[in-house]
Amino acid sequence: MDRSIELERQYCARNYDSLPVVLQRGEGVWLWDVNERRYLDMMSAYSAVSFGHSHPVLVATLIAQAQKLAVTSRAYHTDQLGPFLQSLCEMTGMPRALPMNTGAEAVETALKAARKWGHKVKGIADDSAEIIVCRGNFAGRTTTIVGFSSEPQYRDGFGPFAAGFVSVPFGDAAALEAAITPRTAAFLVEPIQGEAGIIVPPAGYLAACRAICTRHKVLLLCDEVQTGLGRTGRLLACDHDAVRPDGLVLGKALGGGLLPVSAFLASEELMGVFAPGDHGSTFGGNPLACAVGAAALRLMVDGRLVERAQEMGARLIEGLRAIDHRAIREVRGKGLLIGLELDPGVISAREFCERLMRNGILSKDTHATVVRFAPPLIITESEVEAALAVIRAVFDSLSDNDRDRIAA
């Protein structure tokens, strides 16, 4: 066993079951382990590395800003925050933004804003506002967020949980409308569910939800921490349905694969519930994060990465669907957010990912049956074809003996 893995197992909390590879450097869509073996990154750190590893523009921006000013807290103004938020708001069409660090922090910010809006603007009685969520959701690991998760492991032993959340089936607009009561403040939804296994709702679902929320004076909050900033072949996944939410959560790719950067963006009315002292973050909106985030947004446009995600994603999905193998149940996704669902009676997703790793591709399973493919948006046609060749070879290598061994 590699010494690095031994040290992690000795000293680190055992809250991850990582693949047995030790990485030491990355460039573009490629990663190298400590033995200098190269791997094609088909995970992008759950979409956080959309621009590729160690992008020279982002690294240069990071170094230059770090040498000038990194962190001051929001006790003072800086020359980086305003321009960054201007770019972010103008690009997304949202009037205001509140900078945070992690996706979970930004979701928590959205929940706080929605509850206060419900009480102060909609007129819901104090401490009784409800937020509707979807089964299969994943918005982070805080106690509030896991409290409205439908995944038993995420909740097990971590209660008691906050009240005020109502769960409905994902992709069912009628169920959303049926769940709305006078106490409903908001509906929080991922346009595509990522951790659940890249679950794509029926066409028009989000547009129907938008209409329902407007009709009942309920906020529509879109969690685009994983799907936003080009990942699905649109700048925002809600753009597929031409939907403008009342609140939008971004993260992951916003930090350019270098820093944790997130933001809650909202309408004037919704963001207007915050007054000085209501909410904050020591590191949120720090100059280093703002400089890198602004550079990442410029790269998104200059590199036509939204268009590239659409084109390369279509090629990857088409190639995966062309593979004829008994282990494949379904290929689903949009852009470069793709799930390959496998029959666990033939091979588990974990085993498949380990075989991919041994053949030079890094991915990760979810829920034991789905392999995720979400490479950096800079991936080229030849790299997509190389990935497909390896994936086909892994399927071709499966035998009846493998199936029997894994099923046992």
Instruction: Return the active site residues.
Output: 138, 223, 252
Number of alpha carbons in the 13 Å side-chain half-sphere of residue 183: 13
Residues 6+ apart with CB under 8 A from 379: 29, 308, 312, 336
Instruction: Provide the sign of the torsion angle of the four alpha carbons 93, 98, 102, 105, taken in this order.
Output: negative
Q: Which residue is listed with tokens 């621009």?
A: 51
CB 234 within 8 A of CB 200: no
Q: What are phi and psi of 40, to 5 degrees?
A: -85, 125
Find the length of the chain. 408
- Read off the tokens for 235: 């700048």
Contact 263, 107 (CB under 8 A): no
Q: Give me the DSSP letters along 233-247.
A: SSSSGGGGGT---SE
- What's phi and psi for 111, nearest 5 deg? -65, -45
Is the bond leading into 160 cis (omega within 30 degrees of zero)?
yes
Q: How far apart are CA 210 and CA 220, in angstroms?
A: 7
Strand partners, 339: 332, 372
Please list the alpha-helical segments (H only) found in 303-369: 305-321, 349-358
Question: What 8-state DSSP symbol labels residue 199?
Answer: B
Interatomic CA distance for residues 160 and 323, integer angstroms: 46
Q: What is the DSSP letter of 204?
A: T
Q: Residue 201's closest CA among 166, 240, 145, 165?
A: 240
| Bridge partners, residue 386, by sequence | none
Coil, strand, or helix at residue 354? helix
For the record, the structure tokens of 247 come out as 């609140």
Q: Which amino acid is at 16?
A: Y
Provide the CB-side half-sphere exposure for 360 (13 A, CA): 13
